[in-house]
C-alpha cells in the first residue's frame, strides 16, 4: 500500500493533492484543489461533510471529486 493513501487528515490530503497537481504540470488544478482548504472552516453542508470525512481522503479521491 502506498503510504500517501494512508493520510487521514483532510487538510493534509488536500495539500498533498494540490502540490502533486502543481508539481506535475497542472497548476490550475492545484489552485482549485488548494482552494478547498477554505471549505474546512465553513458553515455549509459541504464544509461539514469534507471536514468530517469518514475514510481516507486520498484513497477516496476526495480532493478531486469536489
The tens digit of pLDDT for each residue in 11-57 reads 999 999 999 999 999 999 999 999 999 999 989 999 999 999 999 99
pLDDT of residue 42: 87
User: Which residue shows C-alpha cell 488544478?
Assistant: 29
Give the count of domains, the chain.
1
Residue 50 Cα to chain centre, angstroms = 9
pLDDT of residue 2: 87
Residue 2 Cα to chain centre, angstroms = 17
pLDDT of residue 25: 98
Domain range holding 48? 3-65
How many C-beta neighbours within 10 Å does residue 45 have?
8
pLDDT of residue 62: 97
Residue 64 Cα to chain centre, angstroms = 7
Amino acid at each position: 500500500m502506498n503510504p500517501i493513501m494512508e493520510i487521514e487528515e483532510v487538510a493534509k490530503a488536500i495539500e498533498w493533492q494540490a502540490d502533486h497537481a502543481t508539481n506535475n504540470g497542472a497548476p490550475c488544478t492545484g489552485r482549485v484543489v488548494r482552494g478547498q482548504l477554505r471549505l474546512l472552516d465553513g458553515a455549509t453542508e459541504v464544509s461539514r461533510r469534507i471536514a468530517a470525512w469518514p475514510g481516507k481522503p486520498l484513497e477516496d479521491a476526495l480532493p478531486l471529486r469536489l
